[in-house]
Structure 1
Amino acid sequence: MLTAIYFGAFASPQYISNAQFVVRGQTTQSGSMLAGLLQGGSSGATEDTYAVQDYLMSRDAAELLIENDSLKSIYYPPKADALARFPNFYSGKTFEHFYAYYQRHVIAELDTTTGISTLSVRTFNARDSQKVAQSLLIAAEQLVNRMNTRQRVNTIAASMKEMEDASQRLSAINARLAAYRNEIAMLDPAKQSQPILKDIASLQTILITTRMQIAQLEQSTPDSPLIPVYKRRIDALNNEISLAATHVTGTSNSLVPKISGYDDLIFQRTLLEKEVSAAASAVEAAKVQANRQILYLDEVTQPNLPDYASYPRGVANTAIVFVITFGLYLMVMLLIGGAKEHKLV
């Protein structure tokens, strides 16, 4: 009777607003067929969907709604009965008590077969239920955006770090190359050595020609006065060739060690340029991969505005209380009857 009186005269109506959503995007899936069979076909149930579902029922979501939508005042309307509202006489007033109350009135469930999540919000007003459900979907979409940002940053960060390191090493080798050019006072020792080598080659050609001329004169006219002249020319040419060769090889100031040091720096720079180019290509590939992995929340159904109250279920609850109390009554009567029979015996 008390239960019937409560539900009939005092219990406040409560309205449920439902919404359905799905988290889509390219996620890491198991490639094993056996794993897919063990999952029972739940290919749509991804970790990201579970993350969004848990967030909707988390303390963070409750605190966000308290701050932005005055959630506590929604669950403490003036006309709500003392048993159903928060706070009430049998519970505390802390946030932890409210969070336990929140978890009974906001439920997010996932259908592992279809991958569609259902959000249910129960308040004392139809429009409040719809408003809270809409706010939760907005918060869920913001969470997905933050997840996308973190995922994109994590995907690109490693490639960016490699490219920055390679660029710094390239800048360092360019600085060393500039310092080396200043040290040897040459822009390109290999190119600047070419005129000297050409001069040596020309002198050697003249030397060979002169020797041939001497050989011819010695055979045709051994007493020719030109032979001593040609011999002095050969000595002069040898001296010039030896002097020019000292600029190319033989000492630390010659061109060979300068060319070797320069070529080594150029080789290192070429390798680093290729490394920077490869790192830049890796960054672009990482960006493409990050764009492919973008998640988004797709609303299957918008939060509805309920036409009638779904709670309290007065008739069903009264019937349940009646069955339970009647069962207890029968048990007590049987115990009393058994005790009386035992006393008579």
Structure 2
Amino acid sequence: MLIGNIKTNRLFWGMVIVPMVMAIVYYAFLARDRYVSSSQVAVHKVGSEGAGEGMQIPGLAALMGGGGISGGNAAETLYVREYVISQDMLNALQKRIQWSKHYAGQMRDPWYYLSPDATREELLKYYQKMVTAQFDATTGLLTISVQAFDRKFADDTVSAIISESEQFVNEISHRLAREQVNFAEGELERSRLNYEAKRKAMLNFQGANNVLDAQRSAVARNDVIAGLQSDLTKAEATLRALRASLREDTPQVRQQKYQIQAIQQQISVESKKLIARNSNDQLNVVASNYQSLELNAGIAQDAYKASVSALESARIESTKKLRSLVIVVSPNMPDEALFPRRIYSLLTIFIMLLLIFGIAKFVIATINDHRD
């Protein structure tokens, strides 16, 4: 019995008293005070369809029954959260406030020690322990918290993070807007050049063939032939009338025959100009080629007009994609350290040690019973 009590006391000392004394020593002499500065932000639209919609604060909308943040804004706020705890943000803080120098080299608190020669991965892991970003899906707010050994440095770090996050949101949203507008401008320029090329080809064709409108010229030529055909019919009728009263060798009959031959020759000349016979100089070929060029120019013109409309639409849509970071709760300068919570932590450790001791004692007692 005495041996059992001695073993129990040793176990109690080893599992409860000694760890508890170590915890007391740590929290009393080693643990450094850590100040916490925090801020709440959200992403919102700069341009919106509805009045006041773009300036609506997500958390306020949720409290007033507005249904909280929209899916797009929630996703963009989550992008900000990932950026806050990323290597890019750490690099930015290193440039702005030399963030790691505040933590590196302090030997007092072993749990929050950062080696001056820490690797990039170790530094990022330590950074993510001291800087947190939590997103509330109900209100759509992102809470950024920073722990530091100095209250001013904690506040400066939060302010720097918010400043970098604002630049991140502005850069991303403006880049998306610029890409959309640049694409529309590129399409407009291509359409303009294509339209000008088609118009130039049509003008060159008109100059080379000495026609303003080949289709109209063909119609006019056809009208001339029709007029000559009418004149020929009248001349032949006159000839028949003359033959009825005069002989073939009379001057009037011979003159009328000459007139008919002249009209027929003119009809032949005009017909050759109108109807193609393997020659690009014929008017019907010219009209066909001109019509093709005119059609291409018309299509290019319609495409150019559509590109102008598309550019205007892209500019309007791009304004709807602009976002900005709203600071709902400004960074606060802490008056006192929130961590470590010494009494709470010591009580928690003591209770956990007692539970572990009780479990160990129960296991040992069970083993001893089986041996007996």
Tell me the TM-score range normalised by the shorter chain: 0.7 to 0.9
Indicate the residue corresponding to 2:27 in structure 1: 7
Residues 162-196 of structure 1, C-alpha deviation per residue, up to 9 Å, x if partnerless? 44554454344345435544654545434555765
Indicate the residue corresponding to 2:9 in structure 1: none
Indicate the residue corresponding to 2:80 in structure 1: 52
- The aligned length equals 327
Which range moved further: 119-128 or 208-217? 208-217
Residues 81-134 of structure 1, C-alpha deviation per residue, up to 9 Å, x if partnerless? 33254426xx98222122111111111111111111111111111111111111
Residues 245-283 of structure 1, C-alpha deviation per residue, up to 9 Å, x if partnerless? 222224322211111111111111101211221122123
3-state DSSP of counterpart to 1:122 = strand
Which range moved further: 150-159 or 10-19? 150-159
Partners of 2:329 and 2:239 lie apart in 1 by 108
Q: Provide the aligned C-alpha RMSD in A.
A: 3.4
3-state DSSP of counterpart to 1:177 = helix
Partners of 1:323 and 1:222 lie apart in 2 by 146
3-state DSSP of counterpart to 2:36 = strand
Partners of 1:12 and 1:19 lie apart in 2 by 23
Indicate the residue corresponding to 1:235 in structure 2: 261
Partners of 1:145 and 1:245 lie apart in 2 by 71
Query: What TM-score, normalized to structure 1?
Result: 0.80
Indicate the residue corresponding to 2:108 in structure 1: 81
Seen in structure 2, the aligned counterparts of structure 1 residues 335 and 113 have a Cα distance that, compared at 3 Å, is: closer
Indicate the residue corresponding to 2:161 in structure 1: 136
Contact 1:19 1:133 in 2 (8 A): yes
Seen in structure 2, the aligned counterparts of structure 1 residues 227 and 76 have a Cα distance that, compared at 3 Å, is: same
Indicate the residue corresponding to 2:41 in structure 1: 21
Which range moved further: 326-335 or 68-77? 326-335
Shift of 1:75: 1.8
Seen in structure 2, the aligned counterparts of structure 1 residues 248 and 332 have a Cα distance that, compared at 3 Å, is: closer
Which range moved further: 281-290 or 311-320? 281-290
1:256 maps to amino acid: N
Superposed, 1:195-234 pairs within 5 Å as 196=221, 199-200=224-225, 203-214=228-239, 221-222=245-246, 226-234=252-260
Seen in structure 2, the aligned counterparts of structure 1 residues 50 and 209 have a Cα distance that, compared at 3 Å, is: same
Seen in structure 2, the aligned counterparts of structure 1 residues 195 and 330 have a Cα distance that, compared at 3 Å, is: closer
Q: Which runs of 5+ in 1 are unaligned?
A: 28-40
Superposed, 1:97-136 pairs within 5 Å as 97-136=122-161
Shift of 1:294: 1.8
Seen in structure 2, the aligned counterparts of structure 1 residues 235 and 340 have a Cα distance that, compared at 3 Å, is: closer
3-state DSSP of counterpart to 2:331 = coil
Indicate the residue corresponding to 1:152 in structure 2: 177
Residues 24-56 of structure 1, C-alpha deviation per residue, up to 9 Å, x if partnerless? 1389xxxxxxxxxxxxx7654622111111110
The equivalent position to 1:321 in structure 2, one of 349, 352, 365, is 349
Partners of 1:327 and 1:193 lie apart in 2 by 107
Shift of 1:319: 1.6
Seen in structure 2, the aligned counterparts of structure 1 residues 55 and 250 have a Cα distance that, compared at 3 Å, is: closer
Query: What TM-score, normalized to structure 2?
Result: 0.75
